Amino acid sequence: MKALDALLAEGVAGRRVLVRADLNVPLDGTRITDDGRIRAVIPTLTALRRAGARLVVCAHLGRPGGEPVAEYSLAPVAERLAALLDHPVTFAADTVGDAAAQAVADLADGDVVLLENLRFNAGETSKDDARRGEFANALAKFADVYVDDAFGAVHRKHASVYDVANLLPHYAGLLVASEVDVLKRLTESPDRPYVVVLGGAKVSDKLAVIANLLDKVDRLLVGGGMMFTFLAAQGHPTGTSLLESDQIDQCRQFLSEAAARGVELVLPVDTVVADRFAADAQAQTVAVDAIPDDRMGLDIGPASAALFAEKLADARTVFWNGPMGVFEFPAFAEGTRTVAQSLVTGGAFSVVGGGDSAAAVRTLNLPEDGFGHISTGGGASLEYLEGKTLPGLAVLEQ
């Protein structure tokens, strides 16, 4: 794929550049609670702006269902983007309508406009090629060149990710190029021992990545809500913990395959349980074979956290996707904190696989520069590691 440096070498002064960014940030009303994804696109926007490009930035926020929904407006993002760029950002109140057309027409060299949420238009996510293509054509008319810097969306065959790239000269932004380089390092030539830490809620979300990793990793550590389905596969009681009963047999098969392949699949030995899912719930640590019937596990226990830290100590490469517990609640955050801290202090090249893991790093006030790479796209990272073809990357390679 062609890199941003190639575009800058060609010259972009006076040219309209459509930049697909990932600005899907968490909001509390109109307050952005984590601006990590906005900060991630700043290097690409700054490089283009300083070179005299006229920037048309587009992105999505949430799942508004193809029509305008006030709570999913990108207006608060425009304000934060302007602050981080230290330059005014014009906000267009629609995607390809009159407001957007006028804002783009008014652009001068180095100026920036942010279009309203792409998903306010049903054509963005439509599975109908013609409908998606119609929206892509409207977006493409705003620009001379397309730059994709939205790694968190490259696994989607959406109008702004896939179809527009087929209509304009296309380039990978700095973020996308960096993410791909890191993932190639994980899949093609990882330094060993190579350890993968998986957490989060559901085993079903990570079935394909587990299957694909079993012949690539040296150790697989499993925590979070998904651990209880594995524990059930070992015959342990899980109380009222999150459990995917239909995946127990699959987890049992993973345990068997890991043993056959010589992969060390490590499960927690204790868990922090509570009688309800709440920040003020009474926490109790129990062994994984002694979870009371009326309790749910909300974190790995201290012995498990120490075990996981030990299994990470000699790692040279680590991929971590998914928290170990409900890190948003202080009483159930220590498992995630211990695992993350062990990556900060260890000697491995560590990759944080986006989403909740990246949010945990920031929520727990861990130093972001203590990790080798913090991905902006959890889903995209997982699908890449599954070996899938990602539409947004495939089209950039054409």
Please give the annotated binding residues for (2R)-3-phosphoglycerate, written as ranges: 37, 119, 156
Largest CA distance in the chain: 67
State yes or no: is 379 an active-site residue. Answer: yes
CB neighbour burial string for 34-62, b if at least 16 within 10 angstroms, e if fewer: ebbbbebbbebbebbbebebbbbbbbbbe
Q: Which of 379, 367, 274 is nearest to 321 (CA)?
A: 379
CB neighbour burial string for 3-17, b if at least 16 within 10 angstroms, e if fewer: ebeebeeeebeebbb
Q: Which of 355, 377, 378, 392 is catalytic?
A: 355
Q: Which of 15, 16, 20, 37 is catalytic?
A: 37
Q: Which of 80, 131, 202, 316 is catalytic?
A: 202
End-to-end CA distance of the chain: 7
State yes or no: is 392 an active-site residue. Answer: no
Number of C-beta neighbours around residue 341 at 10 A: 17
| HSE-CB of 193 using CA atoms within 13 angstroms | 17
Annotated binding site for substrate: 22-24, 37, 60-63, 119, 156
Three-state DSSP string of 26-89 = CEECCEECCCHHHHHHHHHHHHHHHCCCEEEEECCCCCCCCCCCHHHCCHHHHHHHHHHHCCCC
Annotated binding site for ATP: 206, 297, 328, 354-357
Catalytic center residues = 37, 202, 355, 379
